[in-house]
Chain A
Amino acid sequence: MSRGISIEALVDAVEAARPRPSVVVPTMSAVHPYVARGLSPWDFAYLPSSMGQAVPFALGVALGRPDLPVCALVGDGSLVMNLGCLSTATEAAARNLRIVVVRNGVYQVTGGQAVVGGEAVDLVAVARGCGLPHAWRLEDGADPVVALRALFAADGCALLDVPVTPVDDAPPARSPGPAAARFERWRRRLVGDPPEGDA
């Protein structure tokens, strides 16, 4: 897959388009640029993650906090590993769940090996086929901020498949700090008891 935007441009576009407050859950190759840019205290870098579980994880957050838009940035390889999660998301009918597919065609964080199925797999068609109310692809040359604003404005659960340019020198996936402590800090914000010192 040669076309597409950079992962940094995608992260910038999500930040420009997201309503606030909202929860963003980056995973895999989206974590490093997100952390470099600075995560909001509402966001959770899901790393270490169980591969394929970012959508169910974000779905749980979306069901528990229906007042907040919840957006997962998921790898294409991870989503292909767990396609059934799209039917789970459809059935749970979390109207506030948003899924952005980082469609780089590779397992970027493990060194850029090709994702099974490659471009033959149409994740927008899969999402629609699983009953998701909305699924679109970012067309070549289209403005990602406009597309992401439409994603957040959608009436019901929605997925945006974003072609992203793979790179040769992606940093390894490294968690931005102790997992359990980060999770507990974020959890306390979600339950309305933010730790002292958190903005």
Chain B
Amino acid sequence: MDLGKAASTAGITHVVWIPDSSLGRWAAALERTPGLRLLRVAREGEAWALALGLYATGARPLVVMQCTGLYESGDSLRNAVLDYGAPLVGLIGVRNATTGASDSAASLAEPFLRAFHLPYRWLEPGDDFSALTAMVDEANRLRRAEIFLYPEGPA
């Protein structure tokens, strides 16, 4: 299942993103998914704030970015999720998670999320995002913020 279909099946209304070379392959699929709006941001910090504003109006945004952008956006993520308690969900591509190559971008992903008190789960690598639907559904049901990690190559 492509990323757009998996997200919209889970009730996602907006994908707020900056692509990388792995997740970027889904740009066209996201743009043509009915009921889903793709919102590009200039900088990852914007994505959490934009998602916070959308959430305030009843929309269900999914934030999509590479782990490099996650680190860049830490203050905005902290503000949205920890200060305001918004149950935002994010799909984060983890560079070099599948290669085992030494890369601080990969090795910091889990410690970073633990430091932010954010629950996370790993998706399988590859092109089938069907597992994402149930993960987003569950986060919605529990009304909790959660991060879904997507293992990437040397992106």
Contact A88 B41 (CB under 8 A): yes
Contact A61 B56 (CB under 8 A): yes
Is A190 an interface residue, CB under 8 A from the partner?
yes
Scoring B residues 44 to 70 as 1 if CB is less than 8 Å from chain A, else 0, what string do you get? 011111111111111101000000000
Q: CA separation between A63 and B50, bound complex, in Å? A: 9
Binds A, one of B21-29, B83-91, B96-104, B122-130: B83-91
Q: Which of A56, A63, A65, A191 has the most CB of B within 10 A?
A: A56
Contact A61 B46 (CB under 8 A): no
Contact A50 B79 (CB under 8 A): yes
Within the complex, what minimum Cβ distance (angstroms) separates B27 from chain A?
14
Within the complex, what minimum Cβ distance (angstroms) separates B16 from chain A?
8
Q: CA separation between A179 and B84, bound complex, in Å? A: 6
When the two chains form the complex, which single residue of B53, B75, B83, B86 contacts A59, counting CB atoms closer than 8 Å?
A: B53
Q: How large is the interface on A (under 10, 10 to 19, 20 to 34, 35 or more residues)?
A: 20 to 34
Is B144 an interface residue, CB under 8 A from the partner?
no
When the two chains form the complex, which single residue of B40, B49, B56 contacts A190, counting CB atoms closer than 8 Å?
A: B56
In the complex where A82-B43, A91-B40 touch, is A53 in contact with B57 (Cβ < 8 A)?
no
Q: CA separation between A187 and B84, bound complex, in Å? A: 11
Task: Determine the chain B residues whose CB is within 8 A of the CB of A60 once the complex forms.
Answer: 49-57, 59, 61
Q: CA separation between A54 and B80, bound complex, in Å? A: 12
Contact B45 A53 (CB under 8 A): yes
Q: CA separation between A184 and B87, bound complex, in Å? A: 11
Is B142 an interface residue, CB under 8 A from the partner?
no
In the complex where A59-B50, A64-B53 touch, is A53 in contact with B79 (Cβ < 8 A)?
yes
Task: Determine the chain B residues whose CB is within 8 A of the CB of A7 once the complex forms.
Answer: none
Contact B49 A53 (CB under 8 A): yes
Which partner residue on chain B sits nearest A193 by CB separation?
A: B58
Is A180 an interface residue, CB under 8 A from the partner?
yes
Contact A48 B53 (CB under 8 A): no
Residues on A facing B (Cβ under 8 Å): 44, 48-54, 56-65, 82, 84-85, 87-88, 91-92, 179-180, 183-184, 186-187, 190-191
Residues on B facing A (Cβ under 8 Å): 14, 37, 39-43, 45-59, 61, 75-76, 78-80, 83-86
Ranked nearest first, the 10 interchain pairs of A and B with the lowest CB-CB distance are A60-B53, A64-B57, A84-B42, A53-B49, A180-B85, A50-B79, A56-B46, A56-B49, A60-B54, A191-B58
Q: List 17 A-B contacts (CB under 8 A).
A: A50-B80, A56-B50, A59-B50, A60-B49, A60-B51, A60-B55, A60-B59, A60-B61, A61-B53, A62-B53, A64-B57, A84-B41, A84-B42, A84-B46, A85-B43, A88-B39, A191-B57
